[in-house]
Structure 1
């Protein structure tokens, strides 16, 4: 997934819930500056992009349509501890 797509998803999510991008960044990436860094040209690893994108997919509001031109990752089922 491109950085532009991640930023678009994040901004859509933030706008819909009335949150700042830094708050969404804290929730999704555990770093309040991560998304703003991405927006200003910082790079990220494929692993971090996948983790953040999965977070958005798992926490996406039911009343908000996922952007049609952005592939949505499948929600991972969490295994219960034995």
Structure 2
């Protein structure tokens, strides 16, 4: 699975679990509601932005919901705090 596929899979799953739009999630993650749509339509983001998004998803994933099996989960930043 490519980084783009990972990002879009997490976005789709997270939005479905939370009942929000991808624009809303994109705004929360990137402070820009258009980033996820841009990636969906062939755009790209930096590695730093990808890593920040992965950490954001991990930190904000609903506790009672499983993380997608095909994607390695980063250690949540708030663990041990």
* Alignment TM-score, normalising by the size of structure 2: 0.90
Unaligned runs of 5+ in 2: none
Correspondence for 1:14: 15
Correspondence for 2:25: 24
Greater shift in the superposed pair: 69-78 or 17-26: 69-78
Query: Aligned partners of 2:45, 2:63: CA distance in 1, in Å?
Result: 28
Say what the alpha-carbon RMSD is for the aligned residues.
1.6
Correspondence for 1:2: 3
Q: Which has the larger radius of gyration?
A: 1
Correspondence for 1:56: 57
Query: Aligned partners of 2:19, 2:78: CA distance in 1, in Å?
Result: 28
Q: Deviations over 1:48-80 (max 9, x none)?
A: 0000110000000012110011011111249x9
1:2 positional shift: 0.7
- Regions of 4+ moved over 6 Å: none
* Alignment TM-score, normalising by the size of structure 1: 0.89
Unaligned runs of 5+ in 1: none
- Count how many residue pairs are aligned between Structure 1 and Structure 2: 79
